[in-house]
A and B are shown apart, each in its own frame.
Chain A
Amino acid sequence: MPRNDVLVDADWVEQHLDDPKVVLVEVDEDTAAYEKNHIRGAVRVDWKQDLQDQIRRDFVDKDKFEALLSGRGIANDDTIVLYGGNNNWFAAYAYWYFRLYGHDQVKLLDGGRKKWELDSRELVEEVPAREKTTYKAKEPDTTIRAFRDEVIESIGKKNLVDVRSPDEFSGKLLAPAHLPQEQSQRAGHVPTAKNIPWSKAANDDGTFRSDDELTELYQGEGVDFSKDTIAYCRIGERSAHTWFVLHELLDQPNVKNYDGSWTEYGSLVGVPIEKDV
């Protein structure tokens, strides 16, 4: 897919701040970040409260997703521009999720909140009032979502890309190092997975590297573009970032994000695990 169809830069966003058919949506791990300030006109989606079922571990169903977008004043023909902190991890997760429910016109702000802040661009506290809509979602597109059984069957067959940091991959850490390490699951990685940290796909300011650099990165690390690919991390947000790179920027056809990721796999009874420490 041409990069311009899925990615916009900060200048583009500034030029469309008053475009009623462009809706900015902020998605953060730190859900209080939006309350402090945000890009003018942006609405918030809380990845935990809004995008997860509050009882089962799963997505919200189609009805709840429709209610969420309707309540935020997002229409089916609106262009959604997602951005957030953590180098767009959760914005990329929301991008993948919105695609899963069939929203076509969705883009990521390159560099997310970080690049915007480093550029000292305008942030406001005012929460916009958008009129409610009647949003209609499609049935979930599971061609971009992997489940645990498929991951186990893919060992040694498909490209498995573990996008966590080297220390999480090897089993030295159980969570990204901005979080406490107390966890119940086993440490390590899925056998035959390649460790290609999400961060290798991004520049220091959070923007994506060029298509040529990205192609060289994944092929250089042993990803076979003639095979299907499953990306995973700890909870599926960093791997959504890599899914975006492989599926949306590099136009690879069969790439899935395994959102169960290590918190599920590392808790399964009887599955193979490789650990380097």
Chain B
Amino acid sequence: MVEMTGAKALFEALKAEGVKDIFGIPGGAIIPVYDALYDETDIHHILTRHEQAAAHAADGYARATGRPGVCFTTSGPGATNLTTGILNAYMDSSPVVAISGQMPNSVLGSDAFQEADMLSIMLPITKHNFIIRKVVDLPAIIRLAFKTATTGRPGPVHIDLPKDVQVSKADLKIPAEVNYQKVIKLDPNPEDIRKAVKMLVDAEQPVIYAGGGVIISSASAEVVTLAELLGAPVVTSLMGKGVIPEDHPLALGMLGMHGRMAANIAVSECDVLLGVGVRFSDRATGDVRHFASRAKIIHIDIDQVELGKNVRVDLPIVGDAKRALAEIIKGLKLQVKHGRTSAWLQKVKKMREELAPRMDYDEVPIKPQRVIKEIMSVLNDDAIIVTEVGQCQMWAAHFYVVKKPRHFISSGGLGTMGFGFPASMGVKVARPECDVVNIAGDGSFLMNSQELATVVENKINVVSCIFNNRYLGMVKQWQDLFYQKRRSGVYLGKVPDFVKLAEAYGAWGDRASRPSEIAPKLREALKCGKPAVLDIPIDPDEHVLPMVPSGGRLDEPILT
């Protein structure tokens, strides 16, 4: 036991958790914490320019590493500004630990200056949240927060920390053990595994549908082994991109509304669908009545709430993806020969070749497909792609060939415009050795473009490629397709000049107006030694195609 303040104990607990980087903005109610931070030499604080960006940066950090991302804010508006970022992390099961200052206990509930009821506000959008009422509870709650964020299905945890608790002194000790009482079922039921093995052995047209849960569980290798053993193609959710190298002959790419044709057809025709670490989200399934309608569905997830939530499931398996897949592989090895060939595999191979999307457009204004092709030609397999939300995101998801898990980072469940740029900042802080490229739309980028100040000041050298069509493109696409081209409230106008915007902040800025300019300018951006913005004017009339309309069937997409 050592006498210390709550603020000091907070840093002792954070260091015990291995925290090195924190994104945040101080304010009145968290000054004692920042005062204690002044003495911390091993903790690197990155001052963002908006609290939402701090949450997204922590989220990006968590997704790139699997380790919790941490952010600090003050009370009231500082804390409420976190909410979009926290819900974004919740929807995509990302372990973020957010700590907000709060008004002192003595005035809570009196509408004091910058007081917000954060316990209530954060409650539905976090995996769990706390208010620390007494300094003696602080060390255990901080450790419990990290344990909660990272155990089982990960998720964000918010801690509300009243100012009097930050300054109170007590004899405190950071507990070595965390008193975490929740029981998480990691090992699948052996009987379920036997049933799954039998279903997969008997399957003639099996498909594996892998999602973000596989990445969280570090089970990519198991998915590839299982696919090869079974001779089953792998489709992924948006969150699952990178589970299998997408140039692998069995990888069919993303499933769903803007999925690859081959993936959507394979799922529509398969007789056994093994879903692992997926939510069967409406954007992936389309009309659930016709989703994989010929298939028996096996669903593996660590969160039993997901099993049978969105689609009928013939065999639900509760457990950790890695352990469940390893058990299935063990069972299968006794029964099938490696690399079995079948008419199904021939068909998959043919679909993969014949339905490969076209990217080699030479037109000006530039087609977005071509932009993705050029970016891919410049970046190596270790580069990490982060995306904003909308058309730019779906072009990246559809066309970009991702080779490794945790190398494609995107806002899936919440679809948060403005996520990409601050998230890319978090990714680069976590993985400074990797090239980090934010695939952005002009609309999304402007939602958090103030973070150009943060990346320049902190020398966080990320590159944003702006797919600039001067529209809120995805809304425009829906209006074009489903609202008789009545483009309402979607034109963003001629400003800003993104090159000048970048330069105003001291970042590198340039524009690529012809396809041949993209690759050399992107190389220059990566080498310039500064954060960079590459403005790429694209064809404003280009849609993301194919597209399965909302609630439509996967095998009936709009093609042109």
Asked if A and B are interacting partners, one says no
